[in-house]
Amino acid sequence: MFQNNSNTTCTIKSLDALTNKIPKWNLSSLHERNCPICNKEGMPLFHRADKLIIKICSNCNCAYISPSPSESDLITFYTHYEKLHKKTQDRTSGSVVTNPLLDFRNRVIKAHINNPKGAKILDIGFGMCSNLRNLKAMGFEVFGLDPDSEACEMAKKEFGNDSIYSGTLDNSKLEIADFDLITLYDVIEHPLSPMTLMKNALSRLKKDGLLAIFTPNMPDIKSNKLVQFQIDLEHLQYLTPQTIAFIAKEFNLNIIHLECSGFPVIPDIHNNGIKLKKSIIHAAKGFVRNLPFFIRFNRIRHQLFNSIPDNRLGNYNIFAILQKQ
């Protein structure tokens, strides 16, 4: 049981993990924090499998971890993120680009930047470089920034030393400040101070430049489907479309694209009350539903039967493009 300052009592529900990758945080160095988006106090509702508490902010409709790991813990964690946590074996997998427009995000970007020649793009938290490869194949001049030093060394072999930077916007040697587009794909849910990340990223955009955000959508806390809270346990906050609107207002940005789409990918689910066979089927269905021909088929089906399209099927992720004024 928990009682907040308004004397409201609530029960904190414990959640099982749907992943074997559970971070081992230093629980003796956790820090209390308010909502990292609007600085309001949230209500604790869930206990994650990594022993951290999820609070819900009713002001900006964001979920966040508090108490949270320390900044030093997070720096150590992300320095070798791909190798030690995600346990990535083959960093060259996916190095061959087929058609970048198979990714719907690239189709949306192309609709807003129809002439990529000469346009500079910064991919923050590029990880395995798949987004860098796609954008380069589309004709953009690409740059990458990542705190994982080993990921950066691998990326430099493919994109060159002048295009890849190690660290964060605060401490890297990246000096360019007139990007046409900055992408934050699976990034904004990680830092302790996402609004500082937003501020620093916007300072590197030219006027009318675009900032693309792709992040897990906070689940409906009244439902029994809380997958976002049960995998990727390094996430420190969970946004919603309402949170994106709050951020846009705070930074005086135009929302030029906002949608929820997709299904979770759970490759390493363990048998903790969930059958492995069922998990594989669920992941396979998610993959098939995101194939372009399947999306087109369902849109036609929706039109024929006069039903409402469901945002490219699924609502696990948020994809937003914000424009600097």
Q: Does one domain contain both 96 and 243?
A: yes
Give residue-wise pLDDT tens across range 123-154. Answer: 999 999 999 999 999 999 999 999 999 999 99
More confident residue, 11 or 53: 53
Residues facing 323 on adjacent strands:
210, 254
More confident residue, 89 or 313: 313
Q: What separation in angstroms does the CA of 147 have from each of 190, 230, 255, 281?
A: 12, 24, 28, 34
Q: Say if residue 88 is in the same domain as residue 33.
A: no
Let me know whether 139 and 35 are in one domain.
Answer: no
Is position 288 within any domain?
no
The answer to whether position 102 is within a domain reads yes
Confidence of residue 94 (pLDDT cuts 50, 70, 90): low
Q: Whole-angstrom Cα distance, residue 271 to residue 140?
A: 43
Lowest mean pLDDT among 30-39, 92-101, 200-209, 213-222: 92-101
201 and 63 fall within a common domain = no
Q: CA 99: distance to chain centroid?
A: 22
* Per-residue three-class SS string for the chain: CEECCCCCEECCEECCCCCCCCCCCCHHHCECCCCCCCCCCCEEEEECCCCCEEEEECCCCEEEECCECCHHHHHHHHHCHHHHHCCCCCCCCCCCCCCHHHCHHHHHHHHHCCCCCCCEEEEECCCCCHHHHHHHHCCCEEEEEECCHHHHHHHHHHHCCCCEEECCCCCCCCCCCCEEEEEEECCCCCCCCHHHHHHHHHCCEEEEEEEEEEEEECCCCCCCCCHHHCCCCCCCEEECHHHHHHHHHHCCEEEEEEEEEECCCCCCCCCCCCCHHHHHHHHHHHHHHCCHHHHHHHHHHHHHCCCCCCCCCECCEEEEEEEEC
Are residues 165 and 209 in contact, defined by beta-carbon separation less than 8 angstroms?
Answer: no
Shared domain check, 116 and 36: no
Greater confidence (288 vs 156) lies with 156
pLDDT over 70, % of the chain: 81
Looking at the structure, do residues 51 and 147 belong to the same domain, yes or no? no
CATH number for 116: 3.40.50.150
Is there a domain that residue 284 lies in?
no
Interatomic CA distance for residues 242 and 294, integer angstroms: 29
In a shared domain, residues 113 and 136: yes
Average pLDDT of span 262-266: 85
Residue that wins the pLDDT comparison between 292 and 67:
67
- What 304-308 contacts at long range (C-beta under 8 Å, 24+ apart), as own/partner pairs, is none
Residues 117, 62 share a domain: no
Task: Identify whether residues 55 and 102 lie together within a single domain.
Answer: no
> Does residue 299 lie in a domain region?
no
End residue of a domain, out of 26, 43, 70:
70
Query: What is the model's pLDDT at position 301?
Result: 59
Cα angle at 36 between 35 and 40, to 5 degrees? 30
pLDDT tens, 199-256? Answer: 999 999 999 999 999 999 999 999 989 999 999 999 999 999 999 999 999 999 999 9
Residue 277, domain member (yes or no):
no
Residue 307 is predicted with a pLDDT of 43
Same-domain status, 66 and 152: no
Residue 285 lies in a domain: no
Q: So what's the pLDDT on residue 309? A: 39
Give the Cα separation of 95 and 45 in Å (integer): 41
Q: How do residues 153-175 score in pLDDT, each as one tens digit?
A: 999 999 999 999 999 999 999 99
Phi, psi dihedrals of residue 70, rounded to the nearest 5°: -75, 160
Domain limits at 9?
2-70
111 plus 224 within the same structural domain: yes
Whole-number pLDDT of residue 275: 45
**280 lies in some domain:** no
Instruction: Give dist(CA 104, CA 45) in Å, integer.
Output: 34
- Count up the domains in the chain and report the number: 2
The residue from 27, 43, 70 where one domain ends is 70
Quick one: which of 160, 110, 167 has its CA closest to 140? 110
- Mark whether 222 and 257 lie in a shared domain: yes
What span, in angstroms and rounded, lies between the C-alpha atoms of 205 and 79? 26
Residue 281 lies in a domain: no
